[in-house]
Structure formats: C-alpha cells, structure tokens
Amino acid sequence: MSTRVGAVVPAAGRGERLGGGTPKALRPLAGRPMLLRAVETLLASTHVTQVVVAAPPTLVDVVGQILGPGVCVVPGGGERVDSVRTALDALDDDIGVVLVHDAARPLTPATLVDAVATAVLAGHPAVIPVLPVTDTVKEIDADGRVVRTPRRDMLRAVQTPQGFRRDILRTAYANRDLPVTDDAGLVEALGVPVTTIPGAEEAFKVTRPVDLVLAEALLADSLARDGQR
C-alpha cells in the first residue's frame, strides 16, 4: 500500500438546516469561510499531501479562487455520497490512504487529522473519531413510538476526518445504494473492521444556527487567549 495520504472534503451541501442563503461551506466564521478553515487544518497536518474539495457545481470557480492553486476543486453531487465519490476519483493515483473530512467541521484540530492518519498508516483499514453521547438515544417506529433504548455507554457520536485504506474505500463506494450517513457505514457493510479513536469536542459539525453561535464563541475565546499571551 502506498503511504501517501490524501484528503477529500465534501463541501457541496446546501446547508438547509443552517439556513441563511449562502451555501454552508462558504459561510464565514470570524470572517473566513468554514471550508477554508477545514482545508487549512488538513494542510496543516503532517501527513496530508493532497486535498480535493467537492464544491456546489455552480461555485467551482469561486471555491477555487478562495482555496488557491494548491487545492483541486470538483463539482459535487446531489447527495454527500455522490460528492465524495467524485472527489475520490480526482485523487492522484499514488495516494494510498484517504481521509474524508466534512467542510462543516471548521474547528477540527490538526492533531485529530494526524491521529486518524497515523492509525490508518499503522495498519487499521478504517478509522473513525468518536465521542461518548451525552443524551439518551431512543429507537422509534414510523409512528414515533419508542421501540427500544440502546445502552448509552455503548453508543458513540461519530465525527470526521474518517480515514481509510484507499482500495477499501473505493470498493465500499461501489455499493451506491446503501442508506448510510457516514463513509465508515459503507465500509462496515463490506465486513471490514472499523477502529475508533477518541474524537475532539471542537470537531463538532456546524449543522444548525446554534452550532454557528458556538463556533463563533469558541473562535472569539481562542483569539482573546492568543491576545493575552
């Protein structure tokens, strides 16, 4: 397996739950687009040597301008899986390890990117960062009635970047019809073991307006701390 690490960034979503008009990846956080922050973090990691971004199809040129010549930008698709599949195809042939990272996780620390890459390079075919869940989670039926309550201590909330051997992720993505909400879900369906490592609180996904408020507050806090040094 080649040990060269590449990253793909799905950034083509409309951000319907966030609202506000502008596509979510281009929404500014402390004045700079979320996507730019996510890409800079990937490039700041010691492992990542190529980044491919899936942008909203009408904004490929705009996103290319924002990110500069070092980043490849491709048009995304209708669903996240379509965007990831297109971006995967644009990676250089000699990339052997792939990280898939949401543009919507702009405060992810570079140390988490490195931890995921390191675990894949150490021989784990699929690696995901996870955190314990704090709310109790219920499974419900179509009428909203509770079916069961899984043990909370056995549940984890899953973040990105998720890291994979490239050959395995390519095979997983050939299964286009599975209803999964993350990349590891496709890999699990192949029967490949998926390894968990500790995630980071700051790697939360900006999904709803309250997440944007939290992200702005965290950035203001860290800028204030830097100013005090």
Contacts of 167 (CB under 8 A, 6+ apart): 1
Crossing angle of helices 110-121 and 34-44, in 10° steps, is 50
Q: Which is nearer to ligand CTP, 64 or 77 (CB)?
A: 77
Distance CA 70, CA 43 (A): 10
Residue with Cβ nearer ligand CTP (77 or 109): 77
CB-side exposure of 74: number of CA atoms within 13 Å? 19
107 touches, from Mg ion, ligand CTP, none (C-beta below 5 to 8 Å by class):
none
Residue 104 interacting partner from Mg ion, ligand CTP, none (CB closer than 5 to 8 Å by kind): ligand CTP
x-or-dash string of contact with Mg ion, 11-30, rule CB under 5 A: --x-----------------
Specify the residue, 50 or 83, whose C-beta has the smaller distance to ligand CTP. 83
Pairing status of strand 28-29 against strand 126-132: unpaired
State in angstroms the smallest separation of the CB of 225 from ligand CTP.
27
Q: How many C-beta atoms lie closer than 10 Å to residue 195's C-beta?
A: 16
Interface with ligand CTP (CB under 6 A), residue total 23
**Chosen from ligand CTP, Mg ion, none, partner binding at 54 (C-beta under 5 to 8 Å by type):** ligand CTP
- 3-class SS string, 63-131: HHHHHCCCCEEEECCCCHHHHHHHHHHCCCCCEEEEEECCCCCCCCCHHHHHHHHHHHHCCCCEEEEEE
Give the residue with the Cβ less far from Mg ion, 1 or 210. Answer: 210
If binding is defined by CB under 6 A, does position 14 make contact with ligand CTP? yes
Note the residues at the interface with Mg ion (CB under 5 A). 13
Contact positions vs ligand CTP (CB under 6 A): 10-18, 24-25, 54, 76-80, 83, 102-104, 205, 207
